């Protein structure tokens, strides 16, 4: 799991929330696939609405221009973000995201390697509503500030606990990575982050940084699947 800090500013979050408040919302079960539909109890903004589509495109552009997202996911395809809303007693039980998804309005399909939740409500606006992700180290509980996002493997069992006060609004999306192997992708992310840290510290010789860059990009070239 990788936390993406401040993918949206406070002002941008406020604009999203204001526009979403006036958007048409649908029963979330309509967009769930297979067994997930039986445990999904929330609302989802109508993806066919012009305002909702514009917000999704804005957020999509943010993903593509956020270095940490690119470094962690190495995205090849990104599903248009969907906006969901949980009121009191609404929840989404344990489920796994569909392995293959059709991108709306196209004939293209996407293999879901990484899932991402972008929080649009502040933690003190609601009780409950935690994102729970089952990992080999146990269940991880996530509740981030508005404008923050968390990126995690789509293969993970996960759920959103019932909201007991207030309202939880978030955006979700899925990404097909250029590197299908999750362990390799994680190693590439760690290598890239180390390179970026060395660059920011400013005390590593350029020739050494060039060697690290060479290794990093050659690994991507070797394992990329397009």
Q: Is 97 annotated as a binding residue?
A: yes
What share of the chain has pLDDT > 90, as a percent?
Answer: 89
Question: 215 and 152 in contact (C-beta within 8 Å)?
Answer: no
Q: Is 165 annotated as a binding residue?
A: no
CATH code of the domain containing 122: 2.60.120.620
Position 132 scores a pLDDT of: 97
Position 77 scores a pLDDT of: 95
Q: Do residues 206 and 99 share a domain?
A: no
The token pair at 110 is: 């996407």
Last residue of a domain, one of 162, 177, 192: 177
What pLDDT digit, counting tens, does each position of 111-166 carry?
999 999 999 999 999 999 999 999 888 999 999 999 999 999 999 999 999 999 99
Q: Do residues 205 and 157 share a domain?
A: no
Q: Do residues 197 and 115 share a domain?
A: no
Residue 173 pLDDT exceeds 80: yes
Question: 62 and 36 in contact (C-beta within 8 Å)?
Answer: no
Q: Is 168 annotated as a binding residue?
A: yes
Q: Do residues 195 and 86 share a domain?
A: no
What pLDDT digit, counting tens, does each position of 16-60 carry?
999 999 999 998 887 766 666 788 889 999 999 999 999 999 999
Position 15 scores a pLDDT of: 96
**Neighbouring residues of 158: CB distance < 8 A, sequence distance ≥ 6:** 94, 95, 96, 115, 131, 132, 133, 134, 152
C-alpha closest to that of 87 among 47, 132, 28, 12: 28
Domain count for the chain, please give it.
2
Q: Do residues 156 and 193 share a domain?
A: no
Domain coverage including residue 205: 182-223
């Amino acid at each position: 799991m990788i936390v993406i800090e401040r993918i949206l500013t406070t002002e941008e979050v406020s604009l999203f929330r204001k526009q979403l408040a006036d958007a048409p919302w649908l029963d979330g079960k309509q967009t769930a696939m297979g067994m997930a539909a039986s445990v999904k109890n929330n609302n989802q903004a109508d993806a066919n609405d012009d305002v909702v589509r514009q917000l999704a495109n804005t957020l999509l552009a943010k993903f593509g221009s956020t270095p940490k997202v690119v470094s962690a996911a190495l995205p090849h395809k990104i599903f248009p973000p969907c906006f969901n809303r949980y009121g009191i007693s609404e929840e989404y039980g344990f489920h796994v995201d569909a392995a293959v998804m059709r991108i709306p309005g196209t004939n293209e399909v996407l293999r879901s390697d990484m899932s991402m939740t972008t929080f649009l409500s502040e933690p003190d606006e609601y009780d409950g509503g935690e994102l729970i992700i089952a990992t080999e180290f146990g269940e991880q509980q996530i509740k981030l500030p508005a404008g923050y996002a968390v990126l995690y493997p789509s293969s993970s069992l996960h759920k959103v606990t019932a909201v007991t006060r207030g309202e939880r609004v978030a955006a979700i999306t899925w990404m097909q990575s250029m590197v299908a192997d999750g362990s390799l992708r994680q190693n590439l992310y760690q290598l890239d982050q180390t390179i970026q840290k060395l660059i920011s510290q400013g005390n590593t010789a350029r020739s050494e940084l060039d060697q690290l860059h060479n290794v990093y990009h050659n690994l991507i070239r070797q394992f990329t699947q397009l």
